[in-house]
């Protein structure tokens, strides 16, 4: 994930290093507060190519995400919906 409210074109540049976004590219928004209310851990994890990178972790220590955790994360975005930028 990327912190801040950016467009699909800006996200494409950060993630894929591509200047021309695909018309199918989309961005969705949520907030740290909303994710934390759902018991997710949100950590700013910048890297050289993306200083605004954010990691979201399930509320347990290790192992792959289960179906319930994936569904809960997906619902975190329902509040704001999906939109082309």
pLDDT tens digit at each of 85 positions of the chain: 899 988 888 888 888 776 676 778 788 889 999 999 989 999 999 998 889 999 999 877 678 888 988 998 988 885 444 443 3
- Whether 85 maps to a domain, the answer reads no
- Whether 59 maps to a domain, the answer reads yes
- Whether 3 maps to a domain, the answer reads no
Dihedral sign (CA 64, 29, 12, 44)? negative
Tally of structural domains, the chain: 1
Structural domain that includes position 43: 8-80
- Whether 2 maps to a domain, the answer reads no
- Whether 53 maps to a domain, the answer reads yes
pTM of the entire predicted model: 0.75
- Whether 16 maps to a domain, the answer reads yes
What H or E segment, with its residue span, contains residue 28?
strand 27-28
Query: How far, in Å, are 1, 16, 78, 84 from residue 25 at the CA level?
Result: 14, 11, 18, 7
- Whether 1 maps to a domain, the answer reads no
């Amino acid at each position: 994930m990327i912190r801040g409210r950016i467009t699909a074109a800006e996200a494409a540049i950060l993630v894929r290093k591509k200047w021309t976004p695909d018309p199918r590219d989309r961005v969705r928004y949520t907030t740290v507060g909303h994710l934390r209310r759902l018991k997710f851990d949100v950590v700013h994890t910048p890297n050289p190519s993306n200083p605004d990178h954010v990691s979201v972790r399930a509320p347990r220590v290790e192992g792959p995400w289960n179906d319930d955790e994936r569904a809960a994360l997906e619902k975190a975005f329902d509040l704001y919906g999906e939109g082309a930028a």
